[in-house]
Amino acid sequence: MRINKSKKAIKIAQMNVNQSIEVSDLVRSVIAPLNYYTKKARRTETAKYTADELERMCREDPDSVLIAVHGSKIIGFCLSRYDDGLIWLAWFGVSKNYRGRGVGRRLLSALEATVRKRGGHKLWCDCRTTNAESKRLLIAAGFTPTGLLRNHWFGQDFILWDKLVC
């Protein structure tokens, strides 16, 4: 009988600059197929997160790019930035093969843990009104919908969310 003792844990960490290409590829692979965004929105958003841009983000704020790692494979990401006392959650995503395992929730928890040390008091973000997966996860993570933006970025409807971090 064989016992699998090598079940690797999923770890959440700050991205190292030498991981920027892999993270950029993962960001693109998560965003590109999202059919609730227009082609132009997907193209524009994936172009923002090149390896060079991710490296710049990490140099300016090491907590701005958090990653989920299983073994040596990067399976998730969480991109954010400090904005006048708030932390803007720009994107988070998980590799298709690792969804439904709590990775997204762990990334959001790790992000929340960075808020105070980054000088913030609140997290905020948006998601498409039709993005059921993100809406469920944001609610489970304690975010509150605070507004509806109709015909907004790329002519699409979005929900604004926030979470006060005490």
Mean pLDDT of 74-102: 97
Structure-token match 């979470």, residue found: 163
Main-chain dihedrals φ then ψ at residue 48, nearest 5 degrees: -70, -25
CA atoms of 44 and 87, how far apart (whole Å)? 22
pLDDT, position 166: 82
Amino acid at 142: G
CA atoms within 13 A on the CB side of 63: 19
pLDDT at 18 over 70: yes
Question: In which band, very low, low, confident or very high, does the pLDDT at 7 lie, cut at 50, 70 and 90?
Answer: low
pLDDT at 163 over 60: yes
93-151 pLDDT, tens digit each: 999 999 999 999 999 999 999 999 999 999 999 999 999 999 999 999 999 999 999 99
CA atoms of 124 and 143, how far apart (whole Å)? 8
> What does DSSP say about strands 86-94 and 122-128: parallel, antiparallel, or unpaired?
parallel
**What residues does each domain of the chain span?**
10-121
CA atoms of 63 and 81, how far apart (whole Å)? 8
Main-chain dihedrals φ then ψ at residue 77, nearest 5 degrees: -150, 155
pLDDT, position 33: 96
Mean pLDDT of 7-22: 93
pLDDT, position 5: 38
Instruction: For domain 10-121, give the CATH number.
Output: 3.40.630.30
Main-chain dihedrals φ then ψ at residue 156, nearest 5 degrees: -115, 165
CA atoms of 33 and 22, how far apart (whole Å)? 18
Q: Model pTM greater than 0.85?
A: yes
Question: In which band, very low, low, confident or very high, does the pLDDT at 2 lie, cut at 50, 70 and 90?
Answer: very low
